[in-house]
Amino acid sequence: MGAKEVFLMKTGLLLVNLGSPATPRTPDVKRYLREFLSDPNVIELPQWFWQPLLRGIILPLRSWRSATFYQHIWTKSGSPLVAYTQIMTDQVQQALPDWDVRYAMTYGEPHIGPTLQAMAQAGCEQTVVLPLFPQYTQSTTAPIIHQAQAAGVPITIVHHFYDQPAYQKLLAQHLHSALQQRDYDAVLFSYHSIPTAMVRHGDPYQAECEATTAGVLKYLPELPVAKVTTTYQSKFGPMPWLKPYLKNTLLQLVELGKRNVLITTPSFVADCLETLEEDNVQNYQAFKASGGDAYQLVPPMNGDPAFSQFLADLAVHQLKGSVAHAH
């Protein structure tokens, strides 16, 4: 192997987020939802039962409604989730100038497999795959692992990072800034819910969410634990999902005379439909309509350079661990 070839070898980092429709138009939203909701990791029902239901009832009813929500949150830069993922990728690339840093999406473009193969062809002899989901769950992290492994290139995968002190401290700092604004009656940690059946079958997600809340509170000694509730949001379909639900909790708080609430969403690292539309619009309106007063959301990490630096450090640490493992 010549010196030139040695020089070309480098390390890759692929940040992976959930994905987004290409545009907020109904056909694109329908195409995206079909891909997402056809993944057996997301919907565990038998395909013979689920697919006719999905294509015959759910997609025709849900696609145009979801499209109107996407139209509300769409920006000049396109989908906020994609735009923030791009910002993170650029910032991490600056922090790791010798690496090849790219992003991909579990659903929609750019796809995980082809991106990993392109990185290998560009000289990456090892790529760290970093799902942008702090907590592991079958419905978000497992599809990324399957797609990444199917690419057939050398990879090492970060399974979760909820337990990293640097990440918990960052969440605590964001929360601390918001707590300075006013005196809140309640602080809600709201995580994306998953079906309770997944947890029964051994999914570690609920335990990891609860550990995230506890970990962040360690860095906020001034916040009374009695004010804090861990809740879940974004339930889909008729099956039981993890509770308590955020919306129900908000309405109960108002009934108890707790009308000033602060919400943080530690399972989301970038603003998306769930934070911008569900929380900032629908849950806000429900809270206000029931008599709530102050309703404040702590934004996700979005383009925070400190979070991008954390991702860079995490990737370096993961690579060192995998190299040590191999020897």
Residue whose entry in the numeric block shows the structure tokens 């379909």: 237
Six-digit token string for 99: 């690496």
Say whether 255 counts as a known binding-site residue: no
Tokens of 307: 């979070």
Domains 3-161+304-326 and 165-298 fall in the same CATH topology: yes
Per-residue pLDDT of 104-142, as tens digits, reads 999 999 999 999 999 999 999 999 999 999 999 999 999
Tell me: is residue 317 an annotated ligand-binding position. Answer: no
Q: Which amino acid is at 221?
A: P
Distance between CA atoms of 239 and 235, rounded to whole angstroms?
A: 9
Q: Render pLDDT for 200-225 as a digit per residue (tens, 0 to 9).
A: 999 999 999 999 999 999 999 999 99
H-helix segments, 19-140: 26-37, 47-53, 59-73, 80-95, 112-121
Q: What is the CATH architecture of 3-161+304-326?
A: 3-Layer(aba) Sandwich (3.40)
What is the predicted pLDDT for the residue at 236? 86
Region at 301 (left for phi over 0; alpha for psi -120 to 50; beta for the rest): alpha
* Distance set, CA 228 to CA 104, 143, 161, 299 (Å): 35, 32, 22, 18
Q: What is the pTM of this model?
A: 0.95
Topology annotation, domain 165-298: Rossmann fold (3.40.50)
93 backbone dihedrals φ, ψ, rounded to 5°: -60, -40
Residue 222 known to bind ligand: no
246-303 per-position pLDDT tens digit: 999 999 999 999 999 999 999 999 999 999 999 999 999 999 999 999 999 999 999 9
H helix or E strand, kind and range, residue 228 = strand 228-233
Across 82-222, the runs of DSSP E, i.e. the strands, are: 100-107, 124-131, 155-157, 186-192
The structural domains of the chain, with segments of one domain joined by +, span: 3-161+304-326, 165-298
Q: Which residues contact 273 (CB under 8 A, 6 or more apart)?
A: 66, 69, 70, 73, 81
Count of residues making up the chain = 327
What would the mean pLDDT of 69-96 be, rounded to a whole number?
A: 97
In the DSSP assignment, the letter for residue 75 is B
